[in-house]
Chain A
């Protein structure tokens, strides 16, 4: 390893201040720390540090997304060949899905990372790792047939206006991946409507109604079975169809303690209770647990609502935040028939309210502390 690190040290000198390549130091630093762990040592305070850093956290999230991605690729091919009546086999389906996904992810990363690097360079910062996960999630929540230029524009919009204008990763208050999706939804409604879904590629693309749209229009007969929805063999965005794969990802996130169990649990509870209430009141034919299996609810609960920056930062705030996301998602689904998928808007809305929830929790904590101190005084 010493050869590589010596080589990097030698090249690194050209990027130092006052040298000709200094204008690219953020890019060099990103590549350098990608290949080799930083050589920095502690100076004061704690002399030893935990091995975990932001890169490790982000790669863990990406590992957690893997089952959903791999299944999604296969499913894309499977749905395509199912509708065209061709038997392509397992690898055929997978290869088809991979070829559909690859351009999406390449365009997302090029568009987003170039802006990230430019901003880091401008500010004289290191390139933050946050976009690795954002760029990984965006292709998973976009319709597979979305034009690539729209993906590029949406990604650029979200990176600039949802993140960088506020100061970059850690300062943003909206989830950038969801902002990209919301951007496509509102700016190009013909591409992503929420009630029709792309199935296959042919002379004229085939599309059908999503299960959510079917339910809301009272078309229960044409609905896929709940087992299919759980396994994921239904048409949809790459990442969100298979609930098994998402639960596998959730297991990884919870075991590694990267995502908050408080948020995941309370989103599910909120969704289940609200769904059950609507079902009992006779407003919606789908009951509580079935709601959790439909659309992007589970994907949102596991991967989007748990974004630590845009969620609430206090522990008790997380319960309130998650619960409200669950409730709002189902309310939007059931009440607003024009747009059956409510998860995206519910999370974005709660992102905006998260600082307010934190503010209230902090105030309550401060009051409790004062009470605690006065109690101690009486005891003594």
Chain B
């Protein structure tokens, strides 16, 4: 079935990754518990501990079965702690001879519980996430359906079709195992971009195929859930990235545990944008040094809409498969609000760039205005493809009106769904933060 998304926007930026894959191997690996939303970690290793691929580093305090494991064989060099001794990063130094994989011996699982047990004990379970809240699901729960987004529509996003080229069998096996995990009653939905290379996904069995057409956020799993199987209070839907499905497939097919993945290095400040294969957690400092052009550059794990700024110990986050290098802004312009703005990008038509149909813009990280209260209406609706009132929902979150939040459909959205609203907001509202905090308050109650 084809779904057409009309509301949204495709931001155009220079620095799309060329279809070329390079290997990246480093010695330092950094695993951060903050990659897993609202997971309180219980540390299982300490500085000096020897770890192997698959050794649990920390587990969730709420459910100790949910553990995050070491992606490499080596020694824990350091546990970096932040405010109130919270664990920020676990730094591991890999052995130079480490092949980044570990062969395992296990019997072919025949039941759902056996699949779940293998995923949990080998640190593959956190690849699954649950809507609402985008948290790692509890091993005891089962969703009403599972979504796999087979494309990413965010700016400069990697092409999943290219990433999984030649890995059809792994992907098919991954889907088969997830089907085994969830049972017959839970449908799996594969959402693809219509007109793209989808051969590797179409090999999957026992799934529903859906095609999406239109601008970002067509590739966001939230948009897809909203169109195919909307969530009401008390219901849960799980989702997983296509690359992670292939990783689960590889695990069952080859009985080898490996956290290798392909990451696109993109953005206007990238010397040679292309793909890199690396193990999850790889310290990308040498890569960034080699690839960055320009003096003041913001390094982001993820895309420019939802990514996280990289600071010390830069590594790609658990759920990201993209790094973006963007020029920092902050230059002050003389009466900028009055000038015609031939080179300014705006979804509104208040700058002349729109009049001259300018297509390319040099984006940077400037806020481009002062923070104000909600004044303009009708702006979010242009980029928000949900049957939800975005401004009313934001206001309900700000006023902590839980009943109104639930009625308006907060369980269907996540902060990433509000990313474009945040971009176009003339009052410079932090829409994603407001939604995330709103969701957190509901999660805690």
Contact = CB atoms under 8 A, between A and B. Distances in A.
The CB with the most chain B CB atoms within 10 A, among A43, A47, A362, is that of: A47
A303 to B, nearest CB: 15
Contacts of A56: 337, 348, 350-351, 369, 426
B334 A1 contact: yes
A370 B235 CA distance: 13
Contacts of A35: 334-335
Interface in B322-350: 324, 326, 328-338, 341, 344-350
B344 to A, nearest CB: 4
B430 interface: yes
Interface stretch (A151-159, A237-245, A255-263): A255-263
A313 interface: yes
Nearest to B232: A373
B305 interface: yes
A46 to B, nearest CB: 4
Contact of A55 (B324, B337, B374): B337
Contact of B374 (A46, A170, A370): A170
A50 interface: yes
Given A36-B332, A308-B375, A366-B407, A49 B369 contact: yes
Interface string A16-39: 000000000000000001111111
Given A45-B433, A260-B378, A309-B375, A53 B369 contact: yes
B349 A255 contact: yes
A86 interface: no
A168 interface: yes
A39 B330 contact: yes
Given A48-B364, A51-B344, A369 B409 contact: yes
B122 to A, nearest CB: 32
Contacts of A49: 366-369, 422-423, 425, 428
Given A45-B422, A46-B304, A258-B348, A33 B370 contact: yes
B423 A53 contact: no
A281 interface: no
A380 B190 CA distance: 15
A337 interface: no
B207 to A, nearest CB: 14
A35 B388 CA distance: 39
B378 A51 contact: no
B363 A48 contact: yes
Contacts of B346: 50-52
Interface residues of A, number: 62
B206 interface: no
Main secondary structure of the interface of A (DSSP, over half): loop
Contacts of A169: 372-373, 375
B8 interface: no
Contacts of B347: 50, 52
Contacts of B334: 1, 4, 35-36
A196 interface: no
Interface in A1-21: 1, 4-5, 8
A224 to B, nearest CB: 36
A126 interface: yes
B333 A313 contact: no
A222 interface: no
A48 B337 contact: no
A52 B388 CA distance: 24
Interface stretch (B52-60, B131-139, B257-265, B306-314): B306-314
Which 6 residue pairs across A and B have the least CB separation, nearest first?
Answer: A53-B369, A170-B373, A55-B337, A37-B336, A51-B344, A36-B332
Interface of B: 11, 145, 187, 228-230, 232, 298, 300, 304-309, 324, 326, 328-338, 341, 344-351, 363-378, 381, 387-389, 391-392, 407-409, 415, 419-420, 422-428, 430-433
16 contacts: A33-B370, A37-B337, A37-B368, A39-B332, A45-B415, A47-B298, A49-B369, A52-B346, A55-B370, A56-B351, A57-B375, A257-B348, A260-B378, A313-B392, A358-B392, A376-B229
